[in-house]
Amino acid sequence: MQTSTGKRLASALAAALSVATLTAFAVAPLTEAPLPPNLRIIEPVVLRPQALPTEGEFLRQTVISRGESLGSLFRKLGDQDRELGEFVRTDPTARKLLGLQPGTTVRAEVNGQNQIKSLSYPLHAGHEPDQPPLRLELKRDGSQWQASLAPLVMDRTLVTRTATITSSLFAAADHAGIPDAITARIPEIFGSEMDFHRDVQQGDRLRVVYETFTDPMNLSDGQPGKLLAVEYQGQNQRLEAVWFEREGGEGDFYNFDGRTLRKTFLRSPMEFTRITSGFTNGRRHPVFRDWRVHKGIDYAAPAGTNIRTIGEGVVEFSGVQRGYGNVVIVKHDRERSTLYAHMRRIAPRVVEGVKVSRGQVIGQVGQTGWASGPHLHFEFLVNGEPNDPAAVLPPPEPPLDREALARFQDNTSELLRRMRWQDENQLAAFE
C-alpha cells in the first residue's frame, strides 16, 4: 500500500518535472541563430551538508501562489501537519515562513507516510532590506522541529534574449521569456529618446543581456538580477546601452562606445542672463504685492532674447495659461519637465507632441501674463512639483578618461560580444 503511494508520488513528481522542462523550452528565445553558451559564474561555494533522500523519501517542491495559506502550502507538499503549523507560528526563526512570498519555490522532503520531514524556503534579497539572501531550513528531529538560517548561495548566469515586436514592448518581451523586472528598465534607460508606448512598431527588434540568479537546490527558473546590456533596433533609430561600474562602485548605462547615457541639462535656458529671483519659499509678488511662494527662477533679459530648452524632450504644452502668458512645457523623461513662461512669442514649430533637442530655441523673452517687466519665468518640475533647479539638476557627468575607457572595454567586451553575436552570424550567412 505504502509502496503504491510512493510510486504514485514518484510519478507525480516526474510528471511535474517534465511539465517544468517543457515550460522551459516553450519560453526559449525566438532566435534565428544560435546564441553563445551562457556564461556561468559560480559564486564562492559554501558547503551544504545535504543528505540525499533515502528510499521511500521524496523531494517535492511547489511555487507559492498569491494569497496562499500555510495550511494549503503544507497540503501541497504532504499531509497537513499540526505540529509544523504550530512550530512555524511560535518559533521566532520559523516565523519567517509566515510572510509567504508568491512566486517563491518551497522544497520539502517527504517520507513514505506523506509526512513532511524537512522544508527549505529561500529568503531572497529584498525580503528584508539590506539583508543578504538566506535559506530558512525547517527539520524534524524525532517529534521536535528545528529552524535554522543559512546563506543562500546562488549561481549567477548571464542570459541573452532576443525579441521581435508584434504589438507592444511588454508583449514581445513576455513572448521571449524576458522577466518584467528587466523589461521595465528599458523605457527608464531610453525614456527621453523614445516613448515606448507610442513609438514602437511592428518588426522592431530588442536584444537584452541580464543576470539570472539560480538556486542550485531548486529546479525552477531563477530570479532576474541586473539588466546589463540592451539594444533596440527601431525603424528610424537604434538605441543601445551597457551597464558599467565606475571606480568606486557607482554604475551607470553607457552607449557601446563608452559615452554616458545620463541625461544632461544646460545650466541655463538663456546664454547670458541675470537672475532676478531665485527659488524661494515666499516673497512679495511684483504685481500683486502679496507674499506668495515663488516656485521658479526669473531671468531678467531684454524682450526678444532667445529662450532655449535646457534638455531634449517632447513639448507637453504650448500656448497661453492664465498668469504665465505664453508658456511652453517640455517633458524630458517620465519624472522631469521644464516650464518657460511670459514669452513674447513661441517659436512656430514648438507645438504639443513635437520633439525638441537640448539648446533648441523655443521662443523669445516677453512679459505676457502677470509680469512686471520682460523676463523669463523658468520652472524645473519633478513629478509635476516645482523644484529648485540648482538643487536637483545633476552635475554633468565627465566622460570616461583613458584609463576608465580601457576598463570599460575590458569589462564590457564579453557583453558586447554576446550582443553582436547574432549580427555576425547573419553576416556570415550572407558571405
Site string for Zn ion, 371-410 (x = CB under 5 A): ------x---------------------------------
Given the rule CB under 5 A, which of 60-68, 180-188, 295-303, 327-335 is the region that contacts Zn ion?
295-303
- Rule CB under 5 A: say whether 298 interacts with Zn ion: yes
Given the rule CB under 5 A, which of 125-133, 155-163, 296-304, 321-329 is the region that contacts Zn ion?
296-304
244 residue type, one letter: F
Give the residue closest to Zn ion by C-beta.
377
Contacts of 424 (CB under 8 A, 6+ apart): none
Is 186 or 297 the residue whose CB approaches Zn ion more closely? 297
Q: How far is residue 398's CA from residue 252's CA, in Å, rounded to a whole number?
A: 12
Match 511555487 to its residue by C-alpha cell: 63
Is 296 or 311 the residue whose CB approaches Zn ion more closely? 296
Contacts of 1 (CB under 8 A, 6+ apart): none
- Rule CB under 5 A: say whether 342 interacts with Zn ion: no
- Outline where 91-176 has alpha helix (H): 169-175
Is 276 or 306 the residue whose CB approaches Zn ion more closely? 276
Q: Minimum distance from CB of 354 to Zn ion (Å)?
A: 25
Given the rule CB under 5 A, which of 8-16, 44-52, 60-68, 298-306 is the region that contacts Zn ion?
298-306
The answer to whether 358 and 265 are in contact (CB under 8 A) is yes
Given the rule CB under 5 A, which of 73-81, 240-248, 289-297, 343-351 is the region that contacts Zn ion?
289-297
3-state secondary structure of 223: strand
Residue 25 — φ and ψ, nearest 5°?
-70, -35
Is 229 or 371 the residue whose CB approaches Zn ion more closely? 371
Q: How far is residue 127's CA from residue 148's CA, in Å, rounded to a whole number?
A: 17
Q: Minimum distance from CB of 250 to Zn ion (Å)?
A: 35
Q: Minimum distance from CB of 391 to Zn ion (Å)?
A: 17
- The C-alpha cell that represents 421 in the structure block: 553575436
Is 292 or 349 the residue whose CB approaches Zn ion more closely? 292
Q: Minimum distance from CB of 252 to Zn ion (Å)?
A: 34
Is 179 or 296 the residue whose CB approaches Zn ion more closely? 296
The answer to whether 138 and 109 are in contact (CB under 8 A) is no
Give the up-direction half-sphere exposure of residue 78: CA atoms within 13 A in the CB hemisphere: 23
Is 165 or 346 the residue whose CB approaches Zn ion more closely? 346
Given the rule CB under 5 A, which of 113-121, 227-235, 292-300, 395-403 is the region that contacts Zn ion?
292-300
- Rule CB under 5 A: say whether 81 interacts with Zn ion: no
Say how many residues touch Zn ion, by CB under 5 A.
3
Contacts of 221 (CB under 8 A, 6+ apart): 24, 212, 214
Is 96 or 295 the residue whose CB approaches Zn ion more closely? 295
In 218-360, which ranges are E strands? 223-233, 238-245, 251-254, 274-277, 283-284, 291-292, 297-300, 306-308, 313-321, 325-331, 336-346, 355-356
CB atoms within 10 A of CB 282: 9
Dihedral angle, C-alpha 212, 215, 218, 224, nearest 10 °? -20
Given the rule CB under 5 A, which of 71-79, 214-222, 281-289, 293-301 is the region that contacts Zn ion?
293-301
Is 122 or 296 the residue whose CB approaches Zn ion more closely? 296
Question: What are the beta bridge partners of residue 134?
Answer: 123, 151
3-state secondary structure of 416: helix
DSSP characters for 31-55? -SSPPPPPPEEEPPP-----PPP-T
- The C-alpha cell that represents 130 in the structure block: 539590506
Q: Minimum distance from CB of 377 to Zn ion (Å)?
A: 3
Q: How far is residue 431's CA from residue 428's CA, in Å, rounded to a whole number?
A: 5
Given the rule CB under 5 A, which of 36-44, 51-59, 291-299, 355-363 is the region that contacts Zn ion?
291-299
Q: Minimum distance from CB of 381 to Zn ion (Å)?
A: 14
**Interacting positions 31-50 with Zn ion (CB under 5 A):** none
Q: Minimum distance from CB of 375 to Zn ion (Å)?
A: 7
Q: Minimum distance from CB of 322 to Zn ion (Å)?
A: 14
Site string for Zn ion, 358-377 (x = CB under 5 A): -------------------x
Is 107 or 377 the residue whose CB approaches Zn ion more closely? 377
Is 298 or 312 the residue whose CB approaches Zn ion more closely? 298
Q: How many residues does the chain have?
A: 431
Note the residues at the interface with Zn ion (CB under 5 A): 296, 298, 377
